Structures are given as C-alpha cells and as structure tokens.
Structure 1
Amino acid sequence: MTSHSKIEQTALQLFGERGYDNTSTLLIAKTAGVSEALLFKYFLSKEKLFEYLIKQGFQRIVEANRGILAEKDPRALIEKTIDLPYKLVHDEPDFWKVQDKEFSKPLVQKYFQRFMSPIDSLLKQAFVQLGTDDPEMMTLRLLLLIQSLWRNLLYEHDESLLRVGEHLKNTYVQGLPLPK
C-alpha cells in the first residue's frame, strides 16, 4: 500500500470515528506511519485532504452503483434503492461514517445531493409508472426511511435491521399495481 493510500484510509477512519474537528494532521500521519510533512506534500492541508476524500468517495460510489440509474423496471429500481444502504455501508463503512458525522458541512451536503438527486427523480418516475396516488410523497417517505436505515446500519449491529429492507420491499413494491 502506498503512503498516499495509507493517509487516505487512515484519515477516513479517524474522521469517521472522531470527526473532522477532533482529528489533527499529526494524528493522521502518526497513525498512517508517515510524516506530517508527507501528508502536507500530498494534500497541502487538512481541508484539502477532507475535500479529496469526499470527492473520491462519491466518485467511487457513483461508479459502483451506476446500474441503479439504468434500471428500467420500476419495481426493480425501488428494490435496488432499498438495498442501497446495505450495499453502501458494507462497501464503504468509514466513508459513510464521515458523511454522517460531517453532514452539516456544505461540501458533504453538495456531494450527497448530487448523488441522491437522480435517485430521487427516478423513484418519482417509478412510482408514477406504477400508478401510485402521490408519487412525490411515496418517494419522500421511502427516502427518509432509507436514510434512517443507512444511519442505523452504520452503528447498530442488530439482526432485525437486516429484515427491515425486506419489510420495505414488501411494503413499497409488492403492494403496488403492475406498471401501466
């Protein structure tokens, strides 16, 4: 593993555990086993390192989940969206802990919105195709439930959380009419 990668992984872990404000560049460097000077050589500042981690994290996540955006079957789209928090937390737990801890930062909100905006639009369209009475409200309600599930999956290791996704699928997909 390169020094650059060690710094990235260590910073993600520490920002996720301690938060941005409670993590110094010295702590990141020491934990990564590199000098603080090397950290600054690569990233210039703690703020630049944080920006890099957020941008790269969302880039990885968008690439890994592109298939959702191409899904044409409205029921499959809804199911894949419900599965998303399980996949995201499993694949990138440290990144999502940083998202949770630092969500008040405009940079984090900006990238999160960019990630969620197409999903929001596609869900509304799916609920329209399925003939639901209020596609906007169905989308909003489902996304709020998914966000709550995502946050709980980050910190809770309760087996019942694994069943919540199936319950949501039963509630949001199986009770809906076939596409028009």
Structure 2
Amino acid sequence: MTEKKEKILESALELFANQGYTSTATSKIAREAGVSEGLIFRHFGNKAGLLRAIMEEGNRRLRELIAPVLAETDPAAVVQKTIEMPFGVPESEYDFWRLQFKLKWDEEYYNPDNIKPLTEKLVWAFTALNFEDPEMEAQLLVQYNDTIGVDMIRGVIRDRPAFKSFLLKKYEL
C-alpha cells in the first residue's frame, strides 16, 4: 500500500469515527490526508468504497482479536481470554473500534455473523464447564464485551484492572 493511500485510510478512519460517516465529506478527508480528492476516487471509487476498505480491515482485526480464543482448547481459558479481549485493545486503535461500534446501527455495514465463531466457541466452553444455559451465557458474555468496549472507548471504566478482575472472579477464573 502506498503512503498516500495509507494516509487517506487513516484520515478517513479518524473523521468517520469522530464526526460520522455521513457528516464527513471526501474533500475534508483529502484535506486531512494532504492529497487531492481525485486520488481518493482513484483508489476507492467513492466514499462508500473507502468505508468498505476500512470495514474489510475491521473484519481482519476482529478475526485477529478472536483468533487466540478460537484456538484455545481449555474451556476455562476460552472464557478468560474472552473476558480479557476488550481490555487488551490499545488506545491507539480506539478510533477504529469507535467507528465499528457506530456502524453496528447501519445494516449495510454491520454483519452479526462476524462474531458467530466466538459465540459458538463460548457455547462449547460453557457446555464443557457445565453451565446451566451455555447459549445464554455465551450471549451474555458477548454483550458484556460489547458494552465494556464502548465504555472503555468513552472512558467510563476508570479502574480497568479492577473491573477485569471482578469479571474474572464472577466466572471463578
């Protein structure tokens, strides 16, 4: 990827995440990236193509984030690693995840199947750990992680280590 194309993606991500996709004009992205607006169209076709490129990167990052959980063979470790996931996201990636959470409300860009492998792995883990309702436990933990992710990005969770410890203790891990 060229340096200019990378700068376009970085600028678009920052602006989309903080100002919203519909509120961000390609001319503003071009200005922020220090390129011509025509270069955005040459690389991505249009603003939707630019967002698609960011979303493809999002799908890659999500797969990368959940890969250690999916590879895990110990049920307790599956639950533990899932709880720890949102706490391991570096602040440098918050714009990226902020945009992902915003786009969950847009059916054109949100695909709930992306999280399905994690949910299925959690059902397996909770079944192996003899939880009464493994499907509901899996759904609950996925929802916990969503909410924790949003609250971490917004700065609501002040004492992250204590909160993570609380969750691990709740599941006796």
Per the normalisation by structure 2, the TM-score is: 0.91
CA distance in structure 2 between the aligned counterparts of 1:171 and 1:15, rounded to whole angstroms:
36
- Unpaired segments ≥5 residues, structure 1: 175-180
1:12 aligns with 13
For 1:83, the aligned partner's letter is E
2:79 aligns with 78
Once the two structures are superposed, residues 21-51 of structure 1 have per-residue CA deviations (whole angstroms, 9 ceiling, x without a partner) of 1111000000010010111110110001001
CA distance in structure 2 between the aligned counterparts of 1:108 and 1:87, rounded to whole angstroms:
25
Matched, 1:137 2:128: no
1:25 aligns with 26
CA distance in structure 2 between the aligned counterparts of 1:89 and 1:141, rounded to whole angstroms:
24
CA distance in structure 2 between the aligned counterparts of 1:26 and 1:153, rounded to whole angstroms:
31
RMSD across aligned C-alpha pairs, in angstroms?
A: 1.7
- Unpaired segments ≥5 residues, structure 2: none
- Aligned-residue offset at 1:141: 1.8
Once the two structures are superposed, residues 102-123 of structure 1 have per-residue CA deviations (whole angstroms, 9 ceiling, x without a partner) of 221124321xx23310110110
1:1-180 pair list within 5 angstroms: 2-88=3-89, 90=91, 92-110=93-111, 113-156=112-155, 158-174=157-173
The count of residues paired between Structure 1 and Structure 2 equals 172
3-state SS of paired residue (1:21):
coil
| 164-173 or 30-39, larger mean C-alpha shift | 164-173
For the Cα contact (< 8 Å) 1:11–1:28, is it kept in 2?
Answer: yes
Which structure would you say has the larger RCO, counting Cα contacts within 8 Å and 6 or more residues apart? Answer: 1
| 69-78 or 51-60, larger mean C-alpha shift | 51-60
3-state SS of paired residue (2:35):
coil
CA distance in structure 2 between the aligned counterparts of 1:56 and 1:62, rounded to whole angstroms:
10
CA distance in structure 2 between the aligned counterparts of 1:131 and 1:78, rounded to whole angstroms:
13
Identical pairs, percent: 31
Per the normalisation by structure 1, the TM-score is: 0.88
For the Cα contact (< 8 Å) 1:29–1:35, is it kept in 2?
Answer: yes
CA distance in structure 1 between the aligned counterparts of 2:108 and 2:116, rounded to whole angstroms:
15
